[in-house]
Structure 1
Amino acid sequence: MEGWEKVFISNKEFAETIHGEMGCVTCHGGNGQAEDKEEAHQGIRREPIAAEACDQCHTDVHNDATSLHSTLRGYDTVIRDRSSEETWQIIKEEAFPNHCESCHTSCGQCHVSRPTSTGAGLAAGHEFKKIPPMNLTCTGCHGSRVDMEYKGKNEGIPGDLHWNQQGMPCFKCHTKDEMHYNLGFEENHRYDGPQMPGCQTAECHADITDDGSVEGHDKTHLSTMACETCHAAEYKHCYSCHVQKSDEGVPYFKIEPSVMGVKIGYNPIQSEERPWKWVVLRHVP
């Protein structure tokens, strides 16, 4: 998108919506009384702070800022456990702000615009979408792995049957409670708490019980193996990702070619909610 296209509000109807009537300053700050451009933009915020803007009306999503979708919590603990104190300081001060944090989401990056990591820009003239458009938001960040695997875009590998047979969008399984962190438990990494989405807890596969009425789905299998252990197709594994800065100070990264495959192994984080001995694993840098 051209620079002007990213911010141009082309739909006049927006001014008549609830958000349009609130005016720019209510969410973005700045000086609405100033006639000078520089003065008007003093204190302006590109990304409104949810606690100050959104939460005033949307009290049911006030936990969003502490969700994994926003914090990426879990990556920091894993990387720190594998780093020396000296290396960790560099990662925390350089790598995270320059690379990892570019994927952090705000309310607007799902409901108003394309994600910053894909170049940003209003998705539909500042119109607020209650249900984010999957192809502009979800797959903007989760495109190289999830989108290609789910939709069968990797050559010779079938897509997920939820997409092939039903055309199910992301939010059919990944609910607003998961995205907005209305879960009722503390979430420190992606494997905390019950599996989300859960094949049986979502009542989609309620007929799968451990009585063996469905072949291969007896108590032994269901208690020791996650569903994906048998039902997964090949998926992407990434290797040797290194983040750096150019001589001009521009952040960039290098990564080896990815490999497709299925890896079955011991469950590294067994819990009461995830008791299985066998799960599928993904190699990531």
Structure 2
Amino acid sequence: MENVSSYFMLNCVTMSPSPRRILLLDAEAQSGEALKQLIASWGYDVVLQQNTSPGIQFISETDPAVIIDTSSLSPAEGSDVLRELRAQQSSIPVILVAESGTIELAIRAIQEEGAYHYFEKPVDANKLRVVLDRAVELAEAKRENQLLRRQLQDRGAFGELVGSSAPMREIYSLVEQVAPSSASVLITGESGTGKELIARTIHQLSPRRDKAFIGINCSAIPDTLMESELFGHEKGAFTGAASRRAGCFELADGGTLLLDEIAEMPALLQAKLLLSLIHILR
């Protein structure tokens, strides 16, 4: 039977940002121009756009290192720019400048949509400069990291994978696309083709690289122990449970869980696993 592995990840740099270019979104011409001049005085190339929903094509053409969105955030709509970037799996840092009374929305944008930072109007110029400098440094570091990975690919090395043939380069490209994502990934292939190496490479290139990588071979564990191995158990949960045991899901929290040879798992346990995945994805 073909071996199948499935696991969770987290997302990508899809653009090569111009190191000192800032895209400023401000619907008000006067305030936008004033902020543009201020940021330009710090040595940045500022592009002012009064359309606060410019679309991903304009953002791509502008090629900014950082986006500052000063549009009024409404509780119903949130930030259009964050939604656009998230849909395209872009990691361009976005700094939000929110109207008074919309701080909860801005915090939600940071936690759920990935905004880099937020300010409440009026903005302290000194604090904005510090945050902007850090955001640009982050964008530059990601760009350099991407270039280094490309250079390694050209030399036939990519994470734990080695090879410079056309099929290997295609695999590198797929790994690079999926690594920044939080989506579950299905890896298929015959025994010995390197599925676990691909899983580890995806983990190393993901935002979860500093967290645990936990791998479990579903065909090597008896059916009676598999549920406890995956989900753990509390002390006294069953005869012989002398102490609490953390399951693989708990151990891999925030990191990556590799379920090797998942097709060998009993059907009943696969159903329980599916329910767990649905809960996690929510």
TM-score of the superposed pair, with normalisation by structure 1 = 0.27
TM-score norm. by structure 2 comes to: 0.27
Which has the bigger relative contact order, CA under 8 A and spacing at least 6?
Answer: 2
User: Which has more radius of gyration?
Assistant: 2
Structure holding more strand per residue: 2
